[in-house]
Amino acid sequence: MAYPMQLGFQDATSPIMEELLHFHDHTLMIVFLISSLVLYVISLMLTTKLTHTSTMDAQEVETIWTILPAIILILIALPSLRILYMMDEINNPSLTVKTMGHQWYWSYEYTDYEDLSFDSYMIPTSELKPGELRLLEVDNRVVLPMEMTIRMLVSSEDVLHSWAVPSLGLKTDAIPGRLNQTTLMSTRPGLYYGQCSEICGSNHSFMPIVLELVPLNYFEKWSASML
E strands, the chain, are: 95-102, 105-110, 117-120, 142-145, 150-156, 161-165, 170-174, 180-184, 190-196, 208-214
Please answer whether residues 172 and 154 qualify as being in contact, where contact means their C-beta atoms are separated by less than 8 angstroms: yes
Amino acid in position 38: V
132 is in an annotated binding site: no
5 is in an annotated binding site: no
118 bridge partner residues: 108
Query: What is the 8-class DSSP label of residue 89?
Result: -
Torsion of CA 105, 111, 115, 116, to 10 degrees: -50
How far is the C-alpha of 97 from the C-alpha of 109, rounded, in Å? 6
Amino acid in position 143: V
CA diameter of the chain:
83
Query: What is the 8-class DSSP label of residue 14?
Result: S
198 is in an annotated binding site: yes
Q: How many CB atoms lie within 10 A of CB 142?
A: 21
102 bridge partner residues: 105
Helix (H) or strand (E) holding 106: strand 105-110
How far is the C-alpha of 140 from the C-alpha of 150, rounded, in Å? 19
Helix (H) or strand (E) holding 111: none
200 is in an annotated binding site: yes
**Which residues does the annotation place in the binding site?**
161, 196, 198, 200, 204, 207
**Which residues does the annotation place in the binding site for Cu cation?**
161, 196, 198, 200, 204, 207
**Which residues does the annotation place in the binding site for Mg(2+)?**
198
